[in-house]
Copies of this chain bind each other. A is one copy, B any other.
Amino acid sequence: MIEQLSRTEAMAMLAARGDACLGCIVDDEPYVVPMHYVLEGEYAYLHSLPGRKIDGMRASPRVCLQVQEVRSEFRWRSVQAFGDFEEIEDEAEKDRVLRLLFARFPRLTPADAVRRDGRASAPPIVFRIRVDRVTGLREG
């Protein structure tokens, strides 16, 4: 029996988790990449190195965050959250969001920052997504 989640249940699941598949549109193609996020109210906060997905979202800001929690084949929940990419340019707000992300995911920094060639990485892009629509399903 598959049932829909209420908006409250779906937002609570989004807030509790922090790992999503982010879907965006890059060069007119769907583009999906695993990302970490922190939810505050109706905003998901994320950071990324510059690259294709950032270029894509700057050109086409609509995105979908898909989050799932699988306990067994017949006991799972899945949420889709939709919203627009909004880049955060204010330095104080960028610092606040990076501190929030690193406090939640303390081991993200080195994994994201160290490139194979050992060069210092580019400054991170910080952005938020205001969740303006959310849907969810549950089984079990």
State the Cβ distance, A10 to closest chain B Cβ, in Å: 14
Q: Are A82 and B29 in contact (CB under 8 A)?
A: yes
- Which among A30, A65, A68 has the greatest number of chain B C-beta atoms within 10 A? A30
Q: Are A111 and B30 in contact (CB under 8 A)?
A: no
Within 8 A of B (CB), among A78-119: 78, 80, 82, 107, 111, 114-116
Q: Are B116 and A2 in contact (CB under 8 A)?
A: yes
**A80: contacting residue among B2, B32, B115, CB under 8 A:** B32
Q: Are B1 and A66 in contact (CB under 8 A)?
A: no
**A111: contacting residue among B21, B74, B80, CB under 8 A:** B74
Q: Are A33 and B66 in contact (CB under 8 A)?
A: yes
Known: A23-B32, A62-B28, A66-B34. A3 touches B139 (CB 8 A): no
Q: Which chain B residue shows the least CB distance to A112?
A: B2
Q: Which chain B residue shows the least CB distance to A19?
A: B70
- The answer to whether A46 has its CB under 8 Å from any CB of chain B is no
State the Cβ distance, A137 to closest chain B Cβ, in Å: 10
- The answer to whether A25 has its CB under 8 Å from any CB of chain B is yes
- The answer to whether A24 has its CB under 8 Å from any CB of chain B is yes
